[in-house]
């Protein structure tokens, strides 16, 4: 079965510290993977997708097929990065992970 897991419900870091949000997937074939973000009182929006290999708001994510992971990283966290982050995969169906709440402390 297709599955996306995010082991951390809550992640707290200090401003300026590196941050890594973990995501692992279980898919047959080659799914397309995404990170979505939901800022307070806003709707979910796409942050980045693995195919584009781009950096958005300083975030990057690399697909590691050997470890079936798609971790989201940022070298220097900012307070405005505080939000809910969802990893998602699109294979046969679109599947979201449970989400990680990132809290960046001043």
Partner 1 sequence: NAGVTQTPKFRILKIGQSMTLQCTQDMNHNYMYWYRQDPGMGLKLIYYSVGAGITDKGEVPNGYNVSRSTTEDFPLRLELAAPSQTSVYFCASCGQGYEQYFGPGTRLTVT
44 binds partner 1, rule: CB under 8 A: yes
The CA distance from 63 to 65, in Å, is 6
- Residue 103 binding partner 1, by CB under 8 A: no
Give the C-alpha separation, 32 to 77, whole Å. Answer: 26
Binding test (CB under 8 A) with partner 1, winner from 35, 72, 97, 102: 97
Cβ-contact 11, 100 below 8 angstroms: yes
**Listed residue (100, 97, 104) closest to 24, CA to CA:** 97
Beta strands 19-21 and 72-74 are: antiparallel
Smallest distance from partner 1 to CB 94, Å: 6
Asked if 65 is part of the footprint of partner 1 (rule: CB under 8 A), the reply reads no
46 binds partner 1 per the rule CB under 8 A: yes
53 within 8 A of 23, measured Cβ to Cβ? no
With contacts defined by CB under 8 A, name the span among 17-25, 29-37, 63-71, 74-82 that binds partner 1. 29-37
Binding site for partner 1 (CB under 8 A): 4, 6, 9, 32, 34, 36, 43-46, 49, 86, 90, 93-99
């Amino acid at each position: 079965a297709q599955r996306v897991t995010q082991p951390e419900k809550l992640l707290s870091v200090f401003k300026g510290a590196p941050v890594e949000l973990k995501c692992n997937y279980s898919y047959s074939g080659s799914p397309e993977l995404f990170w979505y973000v939901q800022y307070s009182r806003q709707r979910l929006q796409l942050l980045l997708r693995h195919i584009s290999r781009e950096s958005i708001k300083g975030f990057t994510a690399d697909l590691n097929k050997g470890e079936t992971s798609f971790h989201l990283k940022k070298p220097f966290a900012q307070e405005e990065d505080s939000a809910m982050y969802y990893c998602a995969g699109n294979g046969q169906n679109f599947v979201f992970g449970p989400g990680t709440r990132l809290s960046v402390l001043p």
